[in-house]
């Protein structure tokens, strides 16, 4: 476990450093350290999977694939800092697709862990549909404008909320095992992070300071997901 704790410390340190130094006037440096922080979390997840033996299962590989898609999404969304002309919505849509695929991987991995429990598998999808409706309806009250990213935002919201609800189902089925609790907490922080991100991307004149809670909750999320893999 010593190696796991070392990798965890490295992932936390790099994530904190990136969050502190990221700035629109230093896009290249921010891009580099964001990549380093995200890759360090993936390495942590790979080691956690190997340590627990989960890497030999379909679920383990899917969890790692999900973390991999998170890295791709990080790289894509980081391009926004370069202020590429007329590319905002294309970049957001591409990043949303990548993170949607990440959550599809997480959902599928958890479904393998749940097994054939129909109720535990169906309720999360109903929750996802309900959540999409809420996200669509809160645009005007929250002064949000999804614009050309409306479809991508709603599809991504379905993936994220369904992943969270599926993890809660698994937590109940697994009798609140440590792995299931950490995983559900990770996906909850993911949801919080993206709710903040929607304020950044889709609300006019949103304060730059929102990036700090957004990035903090995001890295807590993926680090918790990676950590949960060592407990299976």
Secondary element (H or E) of residue 231: none
Q: How far is CA 225 from the centre of its chain?
A: 9
Q: Which two tokens stand for residue 122?
A: 């169906």
Cα(198)–Cα(138) distance, integer angstroms: 11
What residue segments make up the domains of the chain, in order of their start? Answer: 2-231
For the stretch 215-228, pLDDT in tens is 999 999 999 999 99
Cα(51)–Cα(231) distance, integer angstroms: 9
**Crossing angle for the helix pair 88-114 and 150-173, to the nearest 10 degrees:** 20
CB of 168 closer than 8 Å to CB of 184: yes
Q: What is the pLDDT along the chain (232 residues), one digit of tens a residue?
A: 899 999 999 999 999 999 999 988 888 899 999 999 999 999 999 999 999 999 999 999 999 999 999 999 999 999 998 888 889 999 999 999 999 999 999 999 999 999 878 778 899 999 999 999 999 999 999 999 999 999 999 999 999 999 999 999 999 999 999 999 999 999 999 999 999 999 999 998 889 899 999 999 999 999 999 999 999 9
């Amino acid at each position: 476990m010593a190696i796991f704790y070392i990798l965890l410390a490295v992932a936390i340190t790099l994530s904190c450093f990136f969050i502190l130094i990221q700035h629109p006037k230093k896009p290249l440096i921010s891009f580099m350290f964001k990549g380093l922080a995200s890759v360090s979390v993936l390495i942590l997840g790979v080691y956690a999977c190997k340590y627990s033996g989960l890497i030999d299962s379909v679920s383990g590989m899917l969890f790692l694939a999900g973390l991999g898609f998170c890295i791709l999404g990080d790289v894509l969304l980081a391009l926004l800092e370069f202020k590429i002309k007329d590319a905002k919505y294309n970049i957001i849509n591409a990043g949303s697709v990548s993170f949607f695929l990440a959550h599809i991987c997480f959902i599928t991995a958890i479904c393998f862990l749940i097994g054939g429990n129909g109720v535990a598998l169906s309720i999360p999808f109903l929750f996802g549909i309900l959540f999409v409706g809420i996200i669509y309806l809160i645009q005007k009250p929250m002064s949000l404008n999804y614009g050309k990213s409306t479809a991508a935002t709603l599809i991504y919201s379905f993936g994220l909320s369904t992943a969270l609800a599926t993890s809660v189902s698994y937590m109940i089925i697994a009798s609140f095992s440590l792995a299931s609790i950490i995983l559900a907490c990770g996906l909850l922080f993911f949801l919080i992070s993206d709710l903040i991100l929607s304020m950044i991307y889709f609300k006019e004149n949103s304060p730059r300071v929102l990036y700090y809670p957004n990035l903090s909750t995001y890295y807590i999320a993926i680090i918790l997901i990676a950590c949960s893999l060592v407990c299976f």
